[in-house]
Structure 1
Amino acid sequence: MNDVNGLEQGLSRLTELSPKGYALGLHIRYASAHVMIQTYDTGWSETYTEKGYMLGDPTVFWGFSNEGAVRWSEVDLPDPHGILEQAAAHGLSYGLTVSHGPTSSRTIAGFARSDREFNNGEIAQIKEIVAELHENSTPPEKLTSAQRMALRLIAKGSRHAEAAAMLGISESALKARLRSARERLFVRTTAEAVQRAQEYHLL
Structure 2
Amino acid sequence: MSIHTEINKCLREIGRVATDGYFIGLHIRFAAPIMQFQTYPEAWTDHYTRQAYALRDPTIAWGFSEEGACRWSEFTLPDPFNILGEARRFGLNYGVTVSCGPVTSRTIASFTLRDREFRDDEIDLISQQIRRLHDLAQPPEGLTKAQIEALRCIAAGDRHAAAAAKLGITQSAFKARLLSARERLMARTTAEAIQRAKEYRLL
Measured in 1, the distance between the counterparts of 2:33 and 2:173 equals 31
Which range is displaced more, 34-43 or 61-70?
34-43
5 Å-filtered alignment, 1:174-189, equals 174-189=174-189
Structure 2 unaligned segments of length 5 or more: list them.
none
Query: Do the aligned residues in 2 keep the contact of 1:92 with 1:113 (CA within 8 Å)?
Result: yes
| In 2: Cα distance, 1:180 partner to 1:5 partner | 17
Distance in 1 of aligned mates of 2:13 and 2:187? 20
Shift of 1:6: 1.2
- Partner SS, residue 201 of structure 1: coil
Partner of 2:26: 26
Cross-structure match for 1:158? 158
Q: Distance in 2 between matches of 1:137 and 1:85?
A: 32
Classify the secondary structure of the residue corresponding to 1:16: helix
Distance 2:159 2:2 in 1: 26
Partner of 1:74: 74
Q: Compute the displacement of 1:10 (Å).
A: 1.0
Query: Hey, what's the Cα distance between the residues in 2 that align with 1:16 and 1:187?
Result: 26
Aligned counterparts, 1:134-153, within 5 A: 134-153=134-153
* Misfit runs of 4+, over 4 Å: none
Give 1:141 deviation, angstroms: 2.3
Once the two structures are superposed, residues 58-99 of structure 1 have per-residue CA deviations (whole angstroms, 9 ceiling, x without a partner) of 111111000000000001111111111111111110001000
- The answer to whether the aligner puts 1:190 opposite 2:190 as a matched pair is yes
Q: How far is the alpha carbon of 1:187 from its aligned partner?
A: 1.2
Supply the distance in 1 between the matched residues of 2:173 and 2:9 (Cα, whole angstroms): 29
Q: Distance in 1 between matches of 2:109 and 2:160?
A: 38
Cα distance in 2 between the residues matched to 1:16 and 1:170: 46
Name the structure 2 match of 1:12.
12
Separation (CA, whole Å) in 2 of partners of 1:11 and 1:174: 33
Please give the TM-score of this superposition, normalised by the length of structure 1.
0.97
Kindly report the root-mean-square deviation, in angstroms, between the aligned alpha carbons of the 2 structures.
1.3
SS of equivalent residue, structure 1 residue 188: coil
Please tell me the residue identity of whatever aligns with 2:166: M
Distance in 1, matches of 2:126 and 2:32, equals: 22
Identify unmatched segments of 5+ residues in structure 1.
none
94-103 vs 2-11, greater mean Cα deviation: 2-11
Separation (CA, whole Å) in 2 of partners of 1:176 and 1:17: 39
Quick one: which amino acid aligns to residue 28 of structure 2? I
Distance 1:186 1:81 in 2: 36
On the 8 A contact 1:4/1:183 being kept in 2, the answer is no
How many Å apart are 1:2 and its aligned residue? 7.2
AA in 2 matched with 1:21: G
